[in-house]
Chain A
Amino acid sequence: MTISIRQAFGETLYNLAKTNRNIYVVDMDLKSSLCLNKFAQKYPRRFIECGVAENNAAAIAAGLAKTGKTVFLTSFACFSPAINWNTIKQSIAYNQANVKIIGSHAGLLSTDLGATHQMLEDVALMSAMPNMEVFSPIDSIETEKLITTISHSKTPAYVRLVRATTPQVFDKKLTFTIGKSHILKKGEDITIVGHGPILNQAFDSSLPKKVSLEIINCSSIKPLDVATIVKSVKKTKHLICLEDHQKNGGLGQMIASILLEKNIHPKFVHLAVDNRFGQSGRDSKKLYDYYKIGVNNLIDAINKIL
């Protein structure tokens, strides 16, 4: 049965908490949306409800972490890390507190909620912060493996989750390693790099069959698996970066900067939201087309780049 990324998050944390008594949740009135009802019911002492007060919650999480807890700070990405960025910077990152910031409902995929809730700047905000890891899983299984892995780490981390139920990419045999990407499909002509469920578009049946694509799931945005990307790009000499995020400060710009510094110059297209706010829509495909990050845009990019 396919479950959504956020369901996978809630289930995984519930299961981890059974054996790891140091796992705490600091929530901001969104436990239902983050599928944490079961956790809150089963572990009320370890479920700390802060109400809609994101700055307080971030520093509460940091203080709790300093007493030996592994704290998951849970909200929508448009509130946390968007409202409480500086509290995360000082109280969590600078103080090296073991807090995992879970920003759900990220990207245009939060669909009908509109521009205020479609967080398109979180990767930029969190990647710029020292002492902070940044992750963006593609499906529920990767979410489970990722959350399990970082629950054993002491490093502050940001995890970007989406609201929609999205296709399964991995099976249960997946191993997630911080700083490692996965080549989902080997190819020769174009490297396509992305993070989150938008990367599923690279498998769309309407893409040109004669072009051999190498598709890299870059769920570990920081630290970034530079070696795998560089190796692929040196081979294909063509790079398309696809993300449900702003161009400015997105994964595509990070990779472009790294490649330029290494004197590697592939033909490059960055498919991302270009300096615009989102808007409501019930169909994510329509939104992706409107913001020029849809399947048709990917087909155009493939045709243009070769």
Chain B
Amino acid sequence: MLSFNKDHPLDQLSSELRLDLLEIIYQSGGGHIGGSLSSIDLMTSVYFSQIFDLKKDHFILSAGHLCTALYVVLAKAGYFSPKLLPSYSSFGSLLQGHVSAQVPGVEYSSGSLGQGLSFACGLALGDRDNKTICLTSDGEHQEGQIWEAVMFAKKYQLGNLINIVDFNGYQIDGAVKDIMPLNDLAAKYISFGWSVTTVDGHDFNQIFKALKKESVLYPHCIIAKTTLGKGISYMENNYNYHDVKNLSPDLYNQALVQLRSKL
């Protein structure tokens, strides 16, 4: 008998999705697991909170390497069969190693950082009647193009635009603060004319509240403080798990035990 003593109904789903993404990354031999585990609660919120109507609203994954999180979310949400998941990153698969718009439910192919927020601005400008939600990473904010888009969103008063920043504090070669510090990211967005909400990126109550915030004139940045590798203890805050190649069976089993204990 599994115990369900959870703060939020989506906590259970989130643990299942973590298991799904561990599985496809382990079976395929590699993938960007750290950021996928840090951002999956954010994507789960977008797709399962029922705050958005994703037949009309848009979700743009700017940090395309977090595709494994999006793939398992989309499969769970019924955009395609979960039977496709094991083909991730294999030759001929729809599920490319960086997110691809060939996949049902994906609007934008990405992989080169910094472009998705601009694309999201274009969508939000062309479709003002609906929301556009973009997910960027903290390290991605080192790209100058992000700030070009941040200026643009304010100029065109894209109140229908939300940028969720998966702020896990790490990037491929180390801590963001060591590689190129962002300093006070919230203050930066505020100075560019955005409204900013900072949340615990693993707390669905906080994420939902921020996602529901309505604005006409102000684009909204949600800085989601997250944990790299969330849910697998040896991966948490360990930048060596930004991506993983050929996870050993032993480490895989440890991860399985930890994630299953949360079901």
B118 near A91: Cβ-Cβ < 8 Å: yes
Whether B217 sits at the interface, judged by CB under 8 Å, is no
B151 near A59: Cβ-Cβ < 8 Å: no
Among the 9-residue stretches A63-71, A174-182, A213-221, A272-280, the one with 4 or more Cβ atoms under 8 Å from chain B is A63-71
Which residues on the A side are within 8 Å of B111 (C-beta)?
90
Complex CA distance for A89 and B109, rounded to whole angstroms: 11
Whether A116 sits at the interface, judged by CB under 8 Å, is no
Whether A224 sits at the interface, judged by CB under 8 Å, is no
A56 near B145: Cβ-Cβ < 8 Å: yes
- Residue ID in chain B nearest A63 by CB atoms: B122
Complex CA distance for A95 and B101, rounded to whole angstroms: 7
A63 near B120: Cβ-Cβ < 8 Å: yes
* Listed residue (B108, B114, B119, B125) with the most chain A CB atoms within 10 angstroms of its CB: B119
Query: Given A48-B125, A55-B115, A86-B112, A66 and B107 touching (CB < 8 A)?
Result: yes
Residues facing B in A41-73 (CB within 8 A) are: 48, 50-51, 53, 55-69
A91 near B115: Cβ-Cβ < 8 Å: yes
Whether A94 sits at the interface, judged by CB under 8 Å, is yes
- Selected from A48, A50, A68, A87, the residue in CB contact (under 8 A) with B115 is A87
Complex CA distance for A63 and B101, rounded to whole angstroms: 13
- Residue ID in chain A nearest B101 by CB atoms: A95
A66 near B123: Cβ-Cβ < 8 Å: yes
Which residues on the A side are within 8 Å of B112 (C-beta)?
86-87, 89-90
Which residues on the B side are within 8 Å of A67 (C-beta)?
122-123, 126-127
Whether B149 sits at the interface, judged by CB under 8 Å, is yes
B115 near A53: Cβ-Cβ < 8 Å: no
Which residues on the B side are within 8 Å of A53 (C-beta)?
145, 148, 151-152
Which residues on the A side are within 8 Å of B114 (C-beta)?
55
Complex CA distance for A107 and B148, rounded to whole angstroms: 28
Complex CA distance for A271 and B123, rounded to whole angstroms: 44
B118 near A68: Cβ-Cβ < 8 Å: no
- Selected from A55, A66, A86, the residue in CB contact (under 8 A) with B148 is A55
- Selected from A56, A68, A87, the residue in CB contact (under 8 A) with B152 is A56
Whether B224 sits at the interface, judged by CB under 8 Å, is no
* Listed residue (A53, A56, A95) with the most chain B CB atoms within 10 angstroms of its CB: A56
Which residues on the A side are within 8 Å of B152 (C-beta)?
50, 53, 56, 60
Which residues on the B side are within 8 Å of A56 (C-beta)?
118, 121, 145, 148-149, 152
Which residues on the B side are within 8 Å of A68 (C-beta)?
126
Which residues on the B side are within 8 Å of A65 (C-beta)?
122
A6-22 CB mask vs B (1 if < 8 Å, else 0) is 00000000000000000
B109 near A62: Cβ-Cβ < 8 Å: no
Whether B39 sits at the interface, judged by CB under 8 Å, is no
Which residues on the A side are within 8 Å of B136 (C-beta)?
none
Complex CA distance for A91 and B125, rounded to whole angstroms: 16
Complex CA distance for A109 and B124, rounded to whole angstroms: 38
A60 near B101: Cβ-Cβ < 8 Å: no
- Residue ID in chain A nearest B120 by CB atoms: A63
Whether B110 sits at the interface, judged by CB under 8 Å, is yes
Complex CA distance for A65 and B121, rounded to whole angstroms: 12
- Selected from B109, B126, B144, the residue in CB contact (under 8 A) with A64 is B126
Query: Given A50-B152, A60-B121, A63-B118, A95 and B108 touching (CB < 8 A)?
Result: yes
A69 near B126: Cβ-Cβ < 8 Å: yes
A55 near B118: Cβ-Cβ < 8 Å: yes
Which residues on the B side are within 8 Å of A66 (C-beta)?
107-108, 119, 122-123, 126
- Residue ID in chain B nearest A22 by CB atoms: B126
Query: Given A55-B115, A60-B152, A94-B109, A87 and B145 touching (CB < 8 A)?
Result: yes
- Residue ID in chain B nearest A54 by CB atoms: B148
Complex CA distance for A60 and B158, rounded to whole angstroms: 13
Complex CA distance for A232 and B252, rounded to whole angstroms: 65
Which residues on the A side are within 8 Å of B119 (C-beta)?
59-60, 62-63, 66, 91, 95
Residues facing A in B113-143 (CB within 8 A) are: 114-116, 118-127
Which residues on the A side are within 8 Å of B149 (C-beta)?
56, 59-60
| Smallest CB separation, A79 vs chain B (Å) | 13
| Smallest CB separation, B47 vs chain A (Å) | 20
A59 near B109: Cβ-Cβ < 8 Å: no
* Listed residue (A55, A59, A91, A95) with the most chain B CB atoms within 10 angstroms of its CB: A59
B115 near A59: Cβ-Cβ < 8 Å: yes
Complex CA distance for A63 and B109, rounded to whole angstroms: 12
B107 near A90: Cβ-Cβ < 8 Å: no
Which residues on the A side are within 8 Å of B118 (C-beta)?
55-60, 63, 87, 91
| Smallest CB separation, B70 vs chain A (Å) | 16
| Smallest CB separation, B27 vs chain A (Å) | 27
Complex CA distance for A50 and B156, rounded to whole angstroms: 10
- The 5 closest A-B CB pairs, nearest first, are A63-B122, A67-B126, A59-B118, A56-B148, A53-B148
| 20 A-B pairs with C-beta separation under 8 A | A48-B156, A56-B121, A56-B149, A57-B118, A59-B116, A59-B145, A60-B121, A60-B125, A60-B149, A63-B120, A63-B121, A65-B122, A66-B123, A67-B123, A67-B126, A69-B126, A87-B145, A90-B111, A94-B109, A95-B108
